[in-house]
Chains A and B, each alone.
Chain A
Amino acid sequence: MQLETVRIQLTEADTHIALFRDVANVGALYGRLIAKNPEFEYAFIDASTIVSPLHLLSAIFRAYICYATGKLQTNNIHSEIVLSLSPNNNINESYRRWGPTPGKTKDMIVVKVVPDNVSEPRPTADGIRAHLAQHIDGRSVPFSDEEIRKSTDRSKVTKYYKLKCPTLDNLKDPAQREREEERLVIMGMALREL
């Protein structure tokens, strides 16, 4: 199973991320999430709503800053990541849109942020990998630009981030268009509370 561990700039935390394709037990995972099972302290994200790794990492960065400065609007840093993906402040809507939906979500991203100051025993990459391998019934693929883009539902993203705008209409080159789309998505998240 592939688990990516990154140090996001300006955070004091390890961020572990895995991408699973065709997850068969979304319903069971969703149930544990709803039950706030402490063993399942992860952010589960419907991969079809994500345009690139940078998109998700930007949301994690934001959630981390909220966590570090005591400004969480949700229960913990993992639910905050889901809210941080939204361009508005509606928490329930953010869970519905970016969280997993039984029967609908196919590809799923799992994130675990382990701040440097958490008390021991500190979750390790190996521990997380083992735990995810045991509980997620899906095919592990690299958390890469290429793989993420295969999962992206463009019409959903366009709707959620209100991407219909002259800037994108006028960009003909697909690579440039994708880059600009990513920027506008990140900007939408940054301007959430305005």
Chain B
Amino acid sequence: MAAASEPEPEFPLPQVLTYPASTPPLLITQGAEGRLYKSVHVLSNRPCALKYRPSKAWRHPVLDARLTKARMSSEAKVLDRCRREGVPVPAVYAMDAVAGWMMLEWIDGVPVRAAINGWLGERPETEPTPDETVDPAPLAGLMRRIGAAIGGLHRVGVVHGDLTTSNMMLRPWADANTEGGGGGGGGGGHGDQSKLLDGDVVIIDFGLATQSSSDEDRAVDIYVLERAFASTHPRAEKFFDYVLEAYGESFKKAPSVLKKLADVRMRGRKRSMLG
């Protein structure tokens, strides 16, 4: 939920965002599932993320309505479960599952993806980093916090379904006591290199999440992140072991998940198919 992208073509707003607010809605991302706006909930100093799943005209209207509602509901239920079980996720402020929108707590900070890339710097892809000139401890620490955050999710019976470093926010520690606050705006531009990777890992975007406690589902969840991490941050790939290490210590069944992960890796993502 970092700074907004370039002004994309105008999409029709969900009706709720057509009512007046102190700050106009800002389109943050446009994904396959729908769009994410920054807006405000109730008070002008209470920023929120509004997730909107517009209806898809190409889909049969009955099916479309059924899917939109079911997915909104399932996402909200997963968030509720996490929130009550002490797993840091955005709170749901308001929603209309039929109209296809959900207002979520605005999470300050930058996506983990941007933080890691900022920390690695704009060095060319080929250069192996981080080397001796950079203290690897901050990245190792962040990777451990990521592992612990995923462990927390799995512990309470939730599988994310789409773990990537773009679906994790790095919420600055300093802001822990002020709700909402300024919100957003800045992106990764803190001058102090050593503090770039500070912050709590808050997992976001539960649009594909399911409730499951099977080793297999959990292992696939981690495997998805492992692959995404390798392709997004090839130069930090070896740090992924810290994620696994911290995950392994995060709940009782984690070691058996890691054992399963070895199987999942072995068979590759998918089985072969017949022609």
Contacts and interface: CB of A to CB of B under 8 A. Distances in A.
23 contacts: A8-B42, A9-B42, A10-B16, A54-B42, A54-B43, A54-B46, A58-B41, A58-B42, A58-B93, A61-B42, A65-B16, A65-B94, A65-B96, A69-B99, A167-B83, A183-B91, A183-B105, A187-B80, A190-B92, A190-B94, A190-B95, A191-B77, A193-B97
B73 interface: yes
Contact of A167 (B73, B85, B105): B85
Interface in A163-194: 165-167, 170, 176, 179, 183-184, 186-187, 190-191, 193-194
Interface residues of B, number: 36
Interface stretch (B18-26, B140-148, B219-227): B18-26
A14 to B, nearest CB: 12
A98 B200 CA distance: 37
Contacts of B40: 9-10
Contacts of A68: 15, 19
A194 B76 contact: yes
Contact of B95 (A11, A69, A184, A191): A191
A165 B85 contact: yes
Interface string A71-82: 100000000000
Main secondary structure of the interface of A (DSSP, over half): helix
Task: Kindly state the interface size class of chain A when it binds its partner.
Answer: 20 to 34
Contacts of A62: 94
Contact of A187 (B16, B83, B97, B177): B83
Contact of B76 (A176, A183, A190): A190
A12 interface: yes
A165 B84 contact: yes
Contacts of B76: 190-191, 194
Interface string B161-194: 0000000000000000101000000000000000
A83 interface: no
Main secondary structure of the interface of B (DSSP, over half): mixed
Contacts of A191: 76-77, 80, 92, 95
A26 interface: no
Interface string A4-20: 00001111100000000
Interface string B116-132: 00000000000000000
> What are the 10 A-B residue pairs with the smallest beta carbon separation, nearest first?
A165-B84, A10-B19, A167-B86, A183-B91, A9-B40, A9-B21, A190-B92, A194-B73, A57-B42, A166-B86
B133 interface: no
A108 B120 CA distance: 57
B99 A57 contact: no
B43 A9 contact: yes
A12 B16 CA distance: 11
A53 to B, nearest CB: 9
B39 interface: yes
A65 B94 CA distance: 10
Contacts of A8: 42
Given A9-B44, A10-B17, A69-B15, 16 more contacts: A9-B43, A10-B19, A58-B42, A61-B42, A61-B94, A71-B96, A165-B84, A166-B84, A166-B85, A184-B84, A186-B91, A187-B91, A191-B76, A191-B80, A194-B76, A194-B77
Contacts of B84: 165-167, 184
A9 B21 CA distance: 5
B210 to A, nearest CB: 15
Nearest to A165: B84
Question: Which of A167, A184, A190 has the most chain B CB within a 10 Å cutoff?
Answer: A190
A61 B41 CA distance: 9
Contacts of B80: 187, 191
Nearest to A167: B86
